[in-house]
């Protein structure tokens, strides 16, 4: 039975379950969402949509972490890096996690109701993707692809909320973010690869094997190519293209980090992707700001 005393007592565990102390996942979800808002609004998104999607990102990322730990509660107990997670350690009961997931996802859905019906409809797909992702590692070596599909869906929703439509150009952003996610989450999976093999968990890191560096490098090159194509389709200027060059530089640094496949270095390469998302957003925002500044002159 849930009581206020129990909720207060377990609040630190709930926050840990939501990864409030590890916001990198929220940042990796936030940056592409901001790309989409800025591109849809040509540089000036509405304050309402900005607030809705910033809050929604943190709520849905937290909800995703909760349902992920629920699905992996028995697996996590056998992995050194995750053994102290609240569900794996028995600090939070499974039904508590389900209620927390419903609360977070429900609150995010209330926010979506403040947009338009197209975005509301799209949000149902987003919740479904977030809910099924944690279970994919049991059935396929491509759970990172499902994660990419789930993370990228915020791009489609943000564009729909801001513009009222989902033009074909949006799917270029979706593809770029999905492939980018597969690459950086492969780095993340490389950290636990040896333990995952022992307990039977599947991932792209295991599937790629000795070709992990080559394949992730190819994926990152493809992301840069699609980012360039996005710049062309949305008629971006030099600042945006410079930001994609900077993103490519971060990708090269990440490949250097994983050269010896050391777990700590692979995790550092994963974390470095925050800078990729940030620099691309700065390129988009700054490019539109420059266009607006020069508009009266031209």
pLDDT in tens, 220-253: 999 999 999 999 999 999 999 999 999 999 999 9
> Does some domain include residue 36?
yes
Closest CA to 104 of 26, 162, 47: 26
> Does some domain include residue 2?
no
- CA Rg, the chain, in Å? 20
> Does some domain include residue 298?
no
pLDDT in tens, 184-209: 999 999 998 988 888 888 999 999 99
Quick count: other Cβ atoms within 10 Å of Cβ 78?
A: 14
**Token pair for 16:** 């840990």
Q: Global pTM?
A: 0.93
> Does some domain include residue 296?
no
Please determine, for residue 5, whether its predicted confidence score (pLDDT) is greater than 80: no
Query: How far apart are alpha carbons 247 and 244 in whole angstroms?
Result: 5
Query: How far apart are alpha carbons 40 and 220 in whole angstroms?
Result: 24
Mean pLDDT of the chain: 92
Query: How far apart are alpha carbons 19 and 28 in whole angstroms?
Result: 13
Query: Which CATH number do you get for residue 224?
Result: 1.10.357.140
Q: Which domain holds residue 269?
A: 11-289
> Does some domain include residue 1?
no
Residues whose CB falls within 8 Å of the CB of residue 219, separated by 6 or more in sequence, listed in order: 179, 180, 182, 183, 186
Mean pLDDT of 7-19: 83
> Does some domain include residue 112?
yes
Query: What single string gives the DSSP state of each residue in 32-98?
Result: HHHHHHHHHHTT---HHHHHHHHHHHHHHHHHHHHHHHHHTHHHHTTSTTTTTSTTTTTSS-HHHHH
> Does some domain include residue 6?
no
Query: What's the domain count of the chain?
Result: 1
């Amino acid at each position: 039975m849930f009581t206020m005393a129990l909720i207060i007592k377990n609040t630190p565990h709930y926050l840990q379950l939501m990864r409030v102390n590890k916001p990198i996942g929220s940042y990796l979800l936030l940056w592409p969402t901001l790309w989409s808002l800025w591109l849809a609004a040509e540089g000036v998104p509405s304050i309402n949509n900005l607030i809705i999607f910033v809050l929604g990102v943190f709520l849905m990322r937290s909800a995703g972490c909760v349902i992920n730990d629920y699905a992996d509660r028995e697996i996590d107990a056998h992995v050194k890096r995750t053994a102290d997670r609240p569900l794996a350690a028995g600090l939070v009961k499974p039904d508590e996690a389900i209620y927390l997931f419903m609360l977070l996802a429900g609150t995010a859905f209330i926010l979506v109701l403040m947009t338009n019906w197209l975005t509301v409809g799209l949000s149902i797909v987003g919740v479904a993707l977030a809910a099924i992702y944690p279970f994919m590692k049991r059935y396929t070596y491509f759970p990172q692809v499902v994660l990419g599909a789930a993370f990228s869906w915020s791009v489609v929703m943000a564009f729909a909320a801001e513009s009222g439509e989902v033009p074909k150009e949006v799917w270029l952003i979706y593809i770029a973010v999905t492939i980018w996610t597969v690459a950086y989450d492969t780095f993340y999976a490389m950290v636990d690869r040896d333990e995952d093999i022992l307990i039977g968990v599947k991932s792209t890191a295991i599937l790629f094997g000795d070709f992990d560096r080559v394949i992730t490098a190819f994926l990152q090159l493809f992301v840069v190519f699609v980012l360039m194509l996005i710049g062309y389709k949305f008629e971006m200027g030099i600042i945006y293209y410079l930001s994609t060059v900077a993103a490519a530089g971060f990708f090269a640094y990440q490949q250097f980090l994983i050269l010896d496949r050391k777990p700590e270095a692979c995790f550092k390469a994963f974390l470095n992707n925050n800078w990729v998302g940030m620099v691309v957003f700065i390129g988009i925002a700054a490019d539109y700001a420059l266009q607006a500044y020069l508009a009266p002159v031209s």
